């Protein structure tokens, strides 16, 4: 689930395919995409004009005004991706793995591992 900062509405989904039910605009879903690993979360853009899904294998799926800056999809990971955060000061984002690994994309700065 992710809050829409523009309206106070929300987007949410669940299961292997995230088909969104929402209080805001619909920008797309992974319903028609073959996923290697399930979606584990989502991040809304600060302006509410799009969102990203992240998959356990590091895949990133952008919808609306969200721009793709890279992913770990197709790369061997030691542990699955469990979260994502947008770098609101720059144009980028981070993926976080269960073992503390952090992967930065776009202009998001890399500060090191959690563990």
DSSP 29-88: -STTSPPSS-EEEEEE-TTSSEEEEEETTS-EEEEET-------TTS--SS-EEEEEEET
pLDDT for the residue 27? 81
Domain ranges, ordered by start, for the chain: 2-106
Those residues with Cβ within 8 angstroms of residue 76's Cβ, 6 or more apart along the chain or in another chain:
none
For 63-108, the pLDDT digits (tens) are 999 999 999 988 999 999 999 988 877 778 999 999 988 999 988 8
d(CA 74, CA 31): 20
In tens, the pLDDT along 9-28 reads 666 555 444 444 445 577 87
Calpha distance 93→103 (Å, rounded): 8
SS3 102: strand
Alpha-carbon gap, residue 32 to 19, rounded angstroms: 10
What pLDDT, on the 0 to 100 scale, is given for residue 16?
47
Is the pTM above the cut of 0.85? no
**What pLDDT digit, counting tens, does each position of 30-55 carry?**
878 888 898 888 888 888 888 899 99
């Amino acid at each position: 689930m992710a809050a829409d900062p523009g309206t106070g509405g929300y987007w949410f989904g669940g299961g292997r395919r995230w088909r969104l039910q929402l209080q805001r605009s619909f920008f797309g879903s992974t319903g028609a995409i073959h996923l290697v690993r399930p979606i584990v979360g989502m991040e809304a853009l600060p302006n509410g004009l799009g969102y990203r899904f992240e998959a356990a294998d590091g895949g990133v799926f952008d919808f609306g005004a969200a721009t793709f800056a890279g992913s770990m999809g197709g790369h061997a990971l030691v542990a699955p991706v469990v979260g994502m955060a947008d770098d609101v000061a720059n144009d980028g984002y981070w993926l976080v793995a269960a073992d503390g690994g952090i992967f930065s994309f776009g202009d998001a700065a890399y500060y090191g591992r959690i563990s």
